[in-house]
């Protein structure tokens, strides 16, 4: 099969198409013929040599795919050959074929293309786990999202709004702020406004009940000021740095919770629980078209370098998708 490989850790120009053996599914895994794969920030970090895959994972980039099942392991009970699914994979998504645990596969939502479905697993697993499992986000609360126009951000906005949450999101351009507002959230242009002052004004001085932060850096301290009492702050990435000096006194005075997580390192059992809750709580919203992933752009398999450069430009709004085998 063809897959995307890297010559050496470095910029996007290191990526190239290579050939290797089709993986074989173990007892609880399925083999998927990939039609589309999502591009995610962890892929960029892995390409740069900053995010090595777990020892038991494929070294090939790619954490989410959509396609059809072509073979099942001996202990697979739910799926069968020919089923159309999307899946969270532990690596190997940038390939014509990939294996995935059967519990990390979900059916294509009704009417979804493979491109749309490939935008779901990594993003929705991450958002659901952090906002609804870890932060216990509730109807009527105020959520502040940093990076609101990203794939994570646009998905988090829609999910939170679907559950009756008031959403405010930061972005760095008029175009991105307009996209946030089109998703029924309030936008803050962080290049023009202080997000701490803005969230205070929007909440009558109370602050945000939950903050989802993928920026890090000086936002870590500022989030303490932007949070309401008993607020929950979740870090899922550190685009501007993870090593900072902070004053933890506001954490005590406001009784804040500061937490974070990565998805890839979690157990198969933990991911299975997330998948089950997604199918019960979120898939009906996707089936009814109440929410839908925002797709920024699609790139053919051979243009993976351009896809990575698009993400690294930070100009994208929503998800970037790599198309692999047709049909789409």
Average pLDDT, the chain: 96
In the chain, pLDDT over 90 holds for what percent of residues? 96
Q: What is the pLDDT of residue 56?
A: 86
For domain 2-120+294-323, the CATH architecture is: Alpha-Beta Complex (3.90)
Is residue 67 a contact partner of residue 100, using CB atoms and an 8 Å limit? no
| Band of residue 261 on the pLDDT scale cut at 50, 70, 90 | very high
Phi then psi for residue 140, to 5 deg, are 90, -10
DSSP 2-51: EEEEESSSSSGGGEEEEE-PPP---TTEEEEEEEEEEE-HHHHHHHTTSS
Q: What is the pLDDT of residue 227?
A: 98
Q: Is it the case that residue 282 has pLDDT exceeding 90? A: yes
Other beta carbons within 10 angstroms of residue 52's beta carbon come to 11
Enumerate the domain spans of the chain. 2-120+294-323, 124-260
Q: What is the pLDDT of residue 327?
A: 53
Whole-structure pTM value: 0.96
User: Rg for the chain (alpha carbons), in Å?
Assistant: 19
For domain 124-260, the CATH architecture is: 3-Layer(aba) Sandwich (3.40)
CA 126 → CA 20, 40, 151, 263, distances in Å?
30, 12, 11, 7
Please state, in angstroms and rounded to a whole number, the distance separating the CA atoms of residues 125 and 65. Answer: 13
Over residues 74-79, mean pLDDT? 98
């Amino acid at each position: 099969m063809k897959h995307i490989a890297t010559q050496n850790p470095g910029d996007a120009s290191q990526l190239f198409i290579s050939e290797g053996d089709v993986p074989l599914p173990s007892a609880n895994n399925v083999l998927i013929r990939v039609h589309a794969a999502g591009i995610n920030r962890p892929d960029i970090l892995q390409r740069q040599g900053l995010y090595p895959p777990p020892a038991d994972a494929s070294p090939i980039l790619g954490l989410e795919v959509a396609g059809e099942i072509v073979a099942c392991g001996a202990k697979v009970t739910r799926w069968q050959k020919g089923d159309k699914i999307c899946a969270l994979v532990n690596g190997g998504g940038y390939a014509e074929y990939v294996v995935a645990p059967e519990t990390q596969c979900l059916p294509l939502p009704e009417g979804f293309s493979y491109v749309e479905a490939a935008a779901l697993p990594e993003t929705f697993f991450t958002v659901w786990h952090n906002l609804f499992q870890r932060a216990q986000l509730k109807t009527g609360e105020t959520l502040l999202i940093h990076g609101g126009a990203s794939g994570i951000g646009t998905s988090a906005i829609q999910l939170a709004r679907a559950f009756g949450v008031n959403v405010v999101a930061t972005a760095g351009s008029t175009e991105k702020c307009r996209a946030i507002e089109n998703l029924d959230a309030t936008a803050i242009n962080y290049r023009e406004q202080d997000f701490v002052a803005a969230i205070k004004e929007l909440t009558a001085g109370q602050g945000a009940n939950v903050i989802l932060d993928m920026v890090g850096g000086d936002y870590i301290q500022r989030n303490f000021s932007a949070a309401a009492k008993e607020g929950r702050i979740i870090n899922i990435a550190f685009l501007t740095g993870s090593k900072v000096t902070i004053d933890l006194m506001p954490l005590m005075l406001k009784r804040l919770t500061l937490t974070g997580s990565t998805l890839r390192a979690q157990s198969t059992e933990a991911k299975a629980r997330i998948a089950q809750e997604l199918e019960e709580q979120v898939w009906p919203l996707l089936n009814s078209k109440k929410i839908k992933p925002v797709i920024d752009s699609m790139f053919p398999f051979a243009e993976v370098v351009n896809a990575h450069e698009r993400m690294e430009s930070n100009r994208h709004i929503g998800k970037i998708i790599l198309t692999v085998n047709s049909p789409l």
